[in-house]
């Protein structure tokens, strides 16, 4: 796979925020107005980078000036297209493996500055109803490690580095199902719900150091044409009908929520779970 390496970010990360995490005003270090490239000089680490949501997040953060490092599990043309289209540097890692997760930040540091922004957009669903077959403890543990354990592990390690810089943005991907429940997918719903509790707790510890921690919880999102459908057309139609806007979300719309929470101006928003679900009602 060809990986494109953009020039390293400019500016001193630690100097771009005060001790309380309030961002400075004015132009960026490169002279570009801050409202046009609010993330210039920042490094963003995005997991699940080739998924439909991770890809959209990488593209948005890069467009706003961040140097993006994307993490994906398997080689693909999609990864090559993302690198070519954004200048993102890509790393492969299996985040269901705690050892690979532990080594990831060190690999990122070999490429350049430690991340100022962490977006955990990786995860997996699983249909295992309570009233289905026998409880599969090993399968549920794997699901938990990928959706929750690896996120906590990676965010905890990144937070320590962000504390020293007095700036950091941690954005985790939850799910509307974590708040409302997901019939047929109790293990997945529980794993995503746990992220909200973790974020609210971590926000209290990290707030004095200028580090915010939030969760974006999407509702139903339109699948890309090239992706294998997760839900049937009938299920998608029902989900769209339950929203106030009567349609599914576009990946770019979910990415906009991440972009807001990752920005320096979102310094007073922390410990929150932001539902991006089109006003859905079940």
Residues with active-site annotation: 188
Please, which pLDDT band fits residue 34 given cuts at 50, 70 and 90? low
- Secondary element (H or E) of residue 85: helix 77-86
The answer to whether residue 192 is domain-embedded is yes
State mean pLDDT over 54-70: 98
What token pair was written down for 24? Answer: 């400075």
Nearest alpha carbon to residue 132 among 191, 186, 178: 186
pLDDT (0 to 100) of residue 33 = 59
Cα–Cα distance between 249 and 228 in angstroms, integer? 17
We report the CATH number of the domain holding residue 76 as 3.40.50.720
The answer to whether residue 11 is domain-embedded is no
The answer to whether residue 15 is domain-embedded is no
pLDDT tens digits for 76-129? 889 999 999 999 999 999 999 999 999 999 999 999 999 999 999 999 988 888
Please, which pLDDT band fits residue 3 given cuts at 50, 70 and 90? very low
Cα–Cα distance between 272 and 282 in angstroms, integer? 22
* Structural domain boundaries, residue 201: 35-125+136-274
The answer to whether residue 193 is domain-embedded is yes
Cα–Cα distance between 180 and 189 in angstroms, integer? 8
Cα–Cα distance between 172 and 44 in angstroms, integer? 13
The answer to whether residue 12 is domain-embedded is no
Helix (H, G, I), strand (E, B) or coil at 143: helix
Domain count, the chain: 1
Does residue 24 or residue 235 have the better pLDDT?
Answer: 235
The answer to whether residue 59 is domain-embedded is yes
Cα–Cα distance between 58 and 22 in angstroms, integer? 24
Nearest alpha carbon to residue 152 among 205, 202, 115, 109: 202
Phi first, then psi: give them for residue 2, nearest 5 degrees.
-85, 125
The answer to whether residue 9 is domain-embedded is no
Task: Indicate if the pLDDT at residue 70 is higher than 60.
Answer: yes
Nearest alpha carbon to residue 155 among 111, 198, 107: 198
pLDDT tens digits for 168-223? 999 999 999 888 888 888 989 999 999 999 999 999 999 999 999 999 999 888 88
The answer to whether residue 281 is domain-embedded is no
Cα–Cα distance between 206 and 138 in angstroms, integer? 33
């Amino acid at each position: 796979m060809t990986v494109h390496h953009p020039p390293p970010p400019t500016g001193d990360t630690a100097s771009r925020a005060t001790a309380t995490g309030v961002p400075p005003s004015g132009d960026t270090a490169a002279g570009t107005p801050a409202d046009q490239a609010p993330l210039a000089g920042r490094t963003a680490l995005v997991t699940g980078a080739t998924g439909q949501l991770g890809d959209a997040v990488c593209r948005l953060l890069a467009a706003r000036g961040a140097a993006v490092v994307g993490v994906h599990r398997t080689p693909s043309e999609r990864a090559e297209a993302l690198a070519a289209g954004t200048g993102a540097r890509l790393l492969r890692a299996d985040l269901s493996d705690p050892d690979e997760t532990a080594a990831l930040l060190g690999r990122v540091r070999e490429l350049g500055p430690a991340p100022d922004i962490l977006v955990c957009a990786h995860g997996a669903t699983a249909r295992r109803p309570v009233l289905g077959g026998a409880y599969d403890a090993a399968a549920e543990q794997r699901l938990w490690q990928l959706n929750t354990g690896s996120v906590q592990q990676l965010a905890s390690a990144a937070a320590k580095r962000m504390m020293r810089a007095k700036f950091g943005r941690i954005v985790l991907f939850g799910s509307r199902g974590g708040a409302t429940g997901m019939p047929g997918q109790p293990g997945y719903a529980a794993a995503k719900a746990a992220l909200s509790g973790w974020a609210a707790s971590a926000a209290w510890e990290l707030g004095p150091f200028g580090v915010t921690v939030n969760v974006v919880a999407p509702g139903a999102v339109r699948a890309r044409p090239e992706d294998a459908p997760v839900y049937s057309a009938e299920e998608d139609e029902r989900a769209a009908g339950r929203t106030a806007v009567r349609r599914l979300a576009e990946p770019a719309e979910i990415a906009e929520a991440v972009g807001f929470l990752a920005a320096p101006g979102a310094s007073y928003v922390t410990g929150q779970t932001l539902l991006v679900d089109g006003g859905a009602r079940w």
